Amino acid sequence: MSVNFKNFQRAFNTAVNSEDNITEEGNVNWNFVDADLHLDGWGKALGDEFNDVFNYLADTFMLNQASERLDVLKRDYLGQ
Protein backbone atom coordinates (compact mmCIF):
# COMPACT_ATOMS: atom_id res chain seq x y z
CA MET A 1 0.00 0.00 0.00
CA SER A 2 1.57 3.25 -1.11
CA VAL A 3 -0.74 5.39 1.03
CA ASN A 4 0.16 5.91 4.67
CA PHE A 5 -2.13 3.71 6.78
CA LYS A 6 -1.97 6.14 9.72
CA ASN A 7 -3.35 8.95 7.53
CA PHE A 8 -6.24 6.76 6.42
CA GLN A 9 -6.83 5.66 10.01
CA ARG A 10 -7.04 9.31 11.12
CA ALA A 11 -9.51 10.08 8.32
CA PHE A 12 -11.53 7.00 9.27
CA ASN A 13 -11.64 8.03 12.93
CA THR A 14 -12.73 11.54 11.99
CA ALA A 15 -15.53 10.19 9.79
CA VAL A 16 -16.69 7.55 12.26
CA ASN A 17 -16.90 10.11 15.08
CA SER A 18 -18.63 12.81 13.04
CA GLU A 19 -22.07 13.72 14.39
CA ASP A 20 -23.34 13.64 10.81
CA ASN A 21 -22.51 9.93 10.65
CA ILE A 22 -24.23 8.90 13.88
CA THR A 23 -27.89 7.87 13.86
CA GLU A 24 -30.46 9.13 16.37
CA GLU A 25 -30.04 5.81 18.19
CA GLY A 26 -26.31 6.45 18.60
CA ASN A 27 -25.12 3.96 16.01
CA VAL A 28 -22.64 4.60 13.22
CA ASN A 29 -24.12 4.98 9.76
CA TRP A 30 -21.41 3.07 7.88
CA ASN A 31 -22.72 4.16 4.48
CA PHE A 32 -22.10 7.79 5.46
CA VAL A 33 -18.61 7.01 6.77
CA ASP A 34 -17.81 5.20 3.51
CA ALA A 35 -19.16 8.11 1.50
CA ASP A 36 -17.13 10.68 3.47
CA LEU A 37 -13.93 8.72 2.91
CA HIS A 38 -14.64 8.37 -0.80
CA LEU A 39 -15.42 12.08 -1.08
CA ASP A 40 -12.04 12.76 0.52
CA GLY A 41 -10.37 10.67 -2.19
CA TRP A 42 -9.48 7.60 -0.17
CA GLY A 43 -11.24 5.20 -2.51
CA LYS A 44 -9.03 6.31 -5.36
CA ALA A 45 -5.90 6.49 -3.19
CA LEU A 46 -6.31 2.96 -1.84
CA GLY A 47 -7.88 1.40 -4.90
CA ASP A 48 -8.67 -2.28 -4.46
CA GLU A 49 -7.39 -2.22 -0.87
CA PHE A 50 -9.99 0.31 0.28
CA ASN A 51 -12.67 -2.24 1.22
CA ASP A 52 -10.26 -4.51 3.10
CA VAL A 53 -8.78 -1.65 5.12
CA PHE A 54 -12.19 -0.05 5.72
CA ASN A 55 -13.68 -3.35 6.90
CA TYR A 56 -10.71 -4.02 9.18
CA LEU A 57 -11.03 -0.60 10.83
CA ALA A 58 -14.84 -0.90 11.05
CA ASP A 59 -14.57 -4.33 12.69
CA THR A 60 -11.98 -3.02 15.14
CA PHE A 61 -14.15 0.00 15.95
CA MET A 62 -17.24 -2.16 16.55
CA LEU A 63 -15.32 -4.60 18.77
CA ASN A 64 -13.96 -1.73 20.87
CA GLN A 65 -17.40 -0.15 21.07
CA ALA A 66 -18.97 -3.46 22.14
CA SER A 67 -16.30 -3.94 24.79
CA GLU A 68 -16.89 -0.43 26.17
CA ARG A 69 -20.65 -1.00 26.25
CA LEU A 70 -20.19 -4.33 28.01
CA ASP A 71 -17.98 -2.67 30.63
CA VAL A 72 -20.68 -0.05 31.27
CA LEU A 73 -23.33 -2.74 31.50
CA LYS A 74 -21.27 -4.79 33.94
CA ARG A 75 -20.43 -1.78 36.09
CA ASP A 76 -23.74 0.09 36.07
CA TYR A 77 -26.23 -2.78 35.98
CA LEU A 78 -24.44 -5.77 37.42
CA GLY A 79 -22.23 -4.00 39.94
CA GLN A 80 -19.05 -5.66 38.71
Inform me whether the pLDDT recorded for 62 exceeds 80: yes
Domain enclosing residue 61, as ranges: 5-77
Q: What is the pLDDT of residues 6-33, one digit of tens each?
A: 999 999 999 999 999 999 998 999 999 9
Answering whether pTM is above 0.95, one says no
Nearest Cα neighbor of 22 from 36, 9, 10 is 36
Number of structural domains found in the chain: 1
Inform me whether the pLDDT recorded for 1 exceeds 60: no
| pLDDT band at residue 71 under the 50/70/90 scheme | low
**pLDDT at 50 (0 to 100):** 96
